[in-house]
Amino acid sequence: MINCLDVGKKYGDSWSLHPIREDIVSGKIVALCGSNGAGKSTLLNLMNGTIKPSTGNIQLNGYTIKQRAKYNESFGYMPDDFYFDEAWTVEETFIYYATLQGAHPTLEILKRVGLYEHKRKRVSELSKGMRQRLLLSQALVSEPDILLLDEPTNGLDPLWMQMLSELLRQEAKRGATIVFSTHQLDVAAMLADEVWMMRAGAVCGKVYVQDEQAAYERLREFFFESKDDTCQMDAARTK
């Protein structure tokens, strides 16, 4: 479970993320949806502890960042980009970073992300989508209670988009709390149970996804048809 306790981030006089108070329960998949500068990555980085809040706090499974070891054990993180040694193989890379996390590097994870048959390939031979899946394997390796994924669908083809959807559903079914960022409305509607619509560093509204197409249309209405630049909470349950 994730608790955002009036957490916000300010740089100088400007809010990168206005204070928010929200809870995300176990088994829920939440999308942070918005354009560049909306505050998506700031919120994810507050959750993963790489930046400190200017106000408020975040709890992961009841732990705050002051309880660093327990806090870090709670989540797996997938950044939107990362440098891998191009000369290493997929298997070497996977085992190395799993070991850094103190996790048992079972190759079953590589099977889940479709890289087992490519385990002897060097990183230099991987496509953008395959690199994304290698990043995803690092987030999954310790079977964390919480998954934080920054733009996880970049470079994925339609087949792997569907497989990612199934994988996230499996993780949610075992009780994981999943938060991912995206600027793609169709991705948010496809993968999430709940979409937080973000603009100018604030959560401006939510869509609770029961029907993918209806959710997509609601998101389009908010981001492309709304003439109001103010940010007011407008929760909508799609039916």
pLDDT above 60 for 75: yes
Q: pLDDT band at residue 102, thresholds of 50, 70 and 90? A: confident
99 or 232: which carries more pLDDT confidence?
99
pLDDT tens digits along 181-197: 999 999 999 999 999 99
Q: pLDDT band at residue 103, thresholds of 50, 70 and 90? A: confident
What domains are there in the chain, each with its CATH number? 2-74+145-237 (3.40.50.300), 81-143 (no CATH)
| Mean pLDDT (whole number) for 93-122 | 92
| Mean pLDDT (whole number) for 80-104 | 91
State what percent of residues in the chain have pLDDT above 70. 94
How far apart CA 224 and CA 88 sit, in angstroms, is 44
CA distances to 69, 142, 167, 169, 207 from 191, in Å: 30, 22, 10, 8, 13
Query: pTM for the full model?
Result: 0.92
What's the mean per-residue pLDDT of the chain? 92
How far apart CA 29 and CA 165 sit, in angstroms, is 10
How far apart CA 219 and CA 141 sit, in angstroms, is 33
